[in-house]
Structure 1
């Protein structure tokens, strides 16, 4: 398919960094997207698949390869085999918040707490997006994807995607490659049909964030409106007039640590238990059974700790920046690195490394970046 005139990636990413790519293709349909991917993969050239550009940190140098922009769209409602539920199937280029808006408008519950998260729905399962106690793993049924190695399209159930805390088998973590190299073409969610009538809000994390009592009843639209307002106060809803939103959202992941390590942190550091994996099924062949079954091993669950708290209590307050740098922490949210005006990727990377160093020196923990890093080294 024909290429388009390349656009500097600084104009297409929410961190506003990135050089000019060699080639660029705009895919407006699934067929165009599949064709562009197969062509680029066959040529064995570097490929950057770009949705909303909200979870990527791109270096200053020109991108020596092809940028494929996913501009596919469309949301359809499907029946569900479960009584009281319905499914939404969206093309990967559809905006995540547009999908949430449709769900809320149709009285479908399960993703309203994730209102305002930027980016496309095709990127959402890659890092198992979440907010206020909701994660896409809770409602995801399946995805259609195309594998890089074979070029084949398949429907993959959510259980096969290895969805965990901000991760999946598809995610390119810093310093590693994905377990499965593939691109999502569409996403199917299953949501509860609750209508617009007020009801109690499941999940203590969401109730706390919204200041609701356990027995308080509110509608889905009320939740969406108040989540959007809460995120806006933190600079986490994109706004061209607010430099605090020139970011990739939370730049560092909340850390998952052992219970014993968590006890070394100050007691006031916010933390949440992480449900441990169930013990694997123990199978003892009859020929080897000697009348003794070893006891199951129990262990304390891991703990998720607040990266924002660690940053602020290492002495780096909201709005912190290095001398003469155009990059800073958000003035509203200590977990967001922001571009205050034409900052280079090098300036943002310098700030990120400084933050990592301070937190490690103070608490003995190295924070890991959440966005995908392209031509950037921390």
Structure 2
């Protein structure tokens, strides 16, 4: 474990490159160091993985930030146990190279393995809930290390019981992967078109990964230090889920704005019908590249769901743009967008 540093600027540890100083900052490179750091942190604790799903306020964090830097995995057939601090896409690449299937459609997602069950990370028709079997967690309330099965994690769209709390500290994650060298069935229409297959077909895992990475790069969703369109927290808003009872009113309002003959993208979801946040943002008048304060922030030039730092932004700038987009969509369509990243010492 590295010695405790003070006043470390958190912008240096987030993909948005935003965030003020931490009162204390420590890097834990082993599970033992992680447990020691968490136990010593007191009440004000922030766990940091890849920093890809965080918006940290300009005032920083008045507590201890523990960067989880544990690495590595164990493979036993199709069962794989992975350290929480392991870089996610490095792990996915290794699984694809080993011919193990199940995570290939989640290629290119930044961040760490331990963060994926918290958010139930998903993309291109796949979610962590599809392949996760258990997590080993440290419970700060009881001081115990325990294993939680997938059925205990309360997985739903972009959430789990671990989200929004540091009570359950993820130490490692166990996945069940296929061993036949083929991907999961391709469910996402855009990916199926890119692969030239029908939805539901399976393809070699390497082919699926290559196609997913190409799609993500086209949307600025693969990190590139030279490309400000990737200086983001990924998708800033979740796709809204509208209860079935409210859907006719929402669709009528959309029709009034964009025309009755326009097809509104919608998908079945628990609790209602899921609408496309990106589609709503664009139809509310926010084009790709739409600037925020002083042009220091903007919607990505490649994807309207990403709010980006153009190089000299503050978190306050980003939140001004986020509110403009959220309130603009609500004013036009009556649909409330909610942020996907965790907001630390700041709010919308």
Q: Does 1:160 align with 2:152?
A: yes
Closer/same/farther in 2, CA of residues 48 and 217 from structure 1, 3 Å limit: closer
Larger radius of gyration: 1
User: How many pairs align?
Assistant: 336
Aligned residue number for residue 316 of structure 1: 286
Q: Under a length normalisation based on structure 1, what TM-score does the superposition of the two structures give?
A: 0.85
Q: Does 1:214 align with 2:214?
A: no
How far apart in 2 are the matches of 1:258 and 1:243? 36
Closer/same/farther in 2, CA of residues 146 and 33 from structure 1, 3 Å limit: same
Task: Trace 1:210-359 onto structure 2 (pairs within 5 A).
Answer: 210-214=194-198, 218-263=203-248, 264-265=250-251, 266=254, 268-274=263-269, 276=270, 302-359=272-329
How far apart in 1 are the matches of 2:145 and 2:155? 20
Correspondent of 1:89 among 77, 81, 101? 81
Q: Does 1:113 align with 2:105?
A: yes
Aligned residue number for residue 74 of structure 2: 76
Aligned residue number for residue 40 of structure 1: 41
Closer/same/farther in 2, CA of residues 162 and 8 from structure 1, 3 Å limit: same
Q: Secondary structure at the match of 1:333?
A: coil
How far apart in 2 are the matches of 1:20 and 1:315? 36
Closer/same/farther in 2, CA of residues 250 and 207 from structure 1, 3 Å limit: closer
Closer/same/farther in 2, CA of residues 5 and 238 from structure 1, 3 Å limit: same
Query: Would you say the 8 A contact 1:133–1:206 is kept in 2?
Result: no
Query: Would you say the 8 A contact 1:207–1:214 is kept in 2?
Result: no
Correspondent of 2:131 among 139, 155, 165? 139
Query: Would you say the 8 A contact 1:256–1:305 is kept in 2?
Result: yes
Aligned residue number for residue 62 of structure 2: 64
How far does the alpha carbon of each residue in 1:182-215 deviate from its partner, in whole angstroms, 9 at most, with x for none? 110000000111126xx89442446435252328
How far is 1:146 from its partner?
0.6
Query: Would you say the 8 A contact 1:201–1:214 is kept in 2?
Result: no
Query: Would you say the 8 A contact 1:26–1:71 is kept in 2?
Result: yes
Query: Would you say the 8 A contact 2:299–2:305 is kept in 1?
Result: yes
Query: Would you say the 8 A contact 1:201–1:207 is kept in 2?
Result: no
How far apart in 2 are the matches of 1:16 and 1:191? 34
Task: Trace 1:358-373 onto structure 2 (pairs within 5 A).
Answer: 358-373=328-343
How far apart in 2 are the matches of 1:307 and 1:339? 20
How far apart in 2 are the matches of 1:30 and 1:13? 22
How far is 1:341 from its partner?
1.0
Q: Does 1:29 align with 2:14?
A: no
How far apart in 2 are the matches of 1:334 and 1:7? 31
How far apart in 2 are the matches of 1:217 and 1:135? 16
Correspondent of 1:148 among 130, 140, 145? 140
How far apart in 2 are the matches of 1:357 and 1:185? 38
Q: Secondary structure at the match of 2:113?
A: coil
How far is 1:365 from its partner?
1.2
Closer/same/farther in 2, CA of residues 157 and 48 from structure 1, 3 Å limit: same
Closer/same/farther in 2, CA of residues 77 and 356 from structure 1, 3 Å limit: same
Q: CA RMSD in A?
A: 1.8
Structure 1 runs of 4+ with >4 Å offset: none
Query: Would you say the 8 A contact 2:101–2:184 is kept in 1?
Result: no
How far apart in 2 are the matches of 1:253 and 1:114? 17
